[in-house]
Amino acid sequence: MKSSNDPTLEQGLAVVRTVADLRRTVAAFRKAGRTVGLVPTMGALHEGHISLVKGALERGDIPVTSIFVNPTQFGPNEDFAAYPRDEQGDFDKLRDAGCRIVFAPSKDEMYPGQQLTTVTVTGITDGLCGPLRPGHFQGVATVVSKLLLMAMPDRAFFGEKDYQQLQVIKRMVRDLSMPFEIVGMPTVREADGLAMSSRNRYMNPTERAVATGLYRELNAVAKAVRAGASCTAATAEASKALLAGGFDKIEYLTVVDAESLEPLEKVSGPARVIAAVRLGRTRLIDNIAA
């Protein structure tokens, strides 16, 4: 069938590689009266990402998914080179989910020439993953700013699994008066409770069996602190159980205020139980409401 060159008249997924093509394609949908929902990703898509696309569709937005493994948010000893990549598989999943535009730029398209500008969110990046992954949130805030300005969506969708990232992005958008709604979507879990993540594929079957313990212990902490236990006592007990259950290292397991991410000793308002743990070569993060 001959292409009409008007993506609003076609079904299916438009693959765009340049900012100019992204803007042209988004503009065609806007001209047709449609709103736009951006789903930023690094690819290796799973049901968690697809739930973000569905979130956009449920709000009546044209879903635009970006796929870009952003080098500036990986530390020198992290898994940038090994990060799973499956572009064709991702396109197929997006097409099936009803996504209409995928933006899959090259590194030069995202970062043309020397880049002298970065976006830094302070305070809420001081704890949790912040000190453990120096430069990570600056890389995230900068690339997300660029993606938002490239796509100019009405809304952008992020998973609650990366809870600190979600709060950083909400704060950035608020502080910089960016005209975008940031929508946090619930974590999608495997049947045994493990939060879906592109990095889960790094685990061998033994590690995968151990990994289920993380969600169980997050729930144990949430239950205890809701019943009035001290957060320090509840998280110490859960950390002990995780190590006994086969985890290699607890980077943190704590209870924080849901917005400021300040550590709490007692829970009296919205709070999250949040953890980063190591299992073999895999770093798992997860969180739930306390």
Q: Active-site residues: which are they?
A: 49
Instruction: Assess 207 for contact with ligand PAF (CB under 6 A).
Output: no
Task: Give the residue with the Cβ less far from ligand PAF, 71 or 98.
Answer: 71
**Alpha helical stretches, state H, the chain:** 19-31, 47-58, 87-97, 107-110, 129-132, 136-151, 163-175, 205-226, 231-244
Instruction: Assess 42 for contact with ligand PAF (CB under 6 A).
Output: yes
Q: Tokens for 197?
A: 């993540």
Length of the chain: 290
Instruction: Assess 287 for contact with ligand PAF (CB under 6 A).
Output: no
Q: Tokens for 92?
A: 């197929």
Helices vs. strands in the chain: H and E counts, helices first: 9, 9
> How far apart are alpha carbons 110 and 112 in whole angstroms?
6
Which of 1-9, 23-31, 40-48, 124-132 is the region at the interface with ligand PAF (rule: CB under 6 A)?
40-48
Q: What does the DSSP 8-state code read for residue 149?
A: H
Binds ligand PAF (CB under 6 A): choice among 52, 56, 97, 144: 144
Instruction: Assess 162 for contact with ligand PAF (CB under 6 A).
Output: yes
Instruction: Assess 40 for contact with ligand PAF (CB under 6 A).
Output: yes
Size of interface with ligand PAF, in residues (CB under 6 A):
10
Task: Give the residue with the Cβ less far from ligand PAF, 147 or 231.
Answer: 147
Cβ atoms < 10 Å from Cβ of 192: 12
Half-sphere exposure of 50 (CA within 13 A, CB side): 16
Instruction: Assess 52 for contact with ligand PAF (CB under 6 A).
Output: no
Instruction: Assess 138 for contact with ligand PAF (CB under 6 A).
Output: no
Contact footprint for ligand PAF (CB under 6 A): 40-42, 70, 73, 140, 143-144, 162, 165
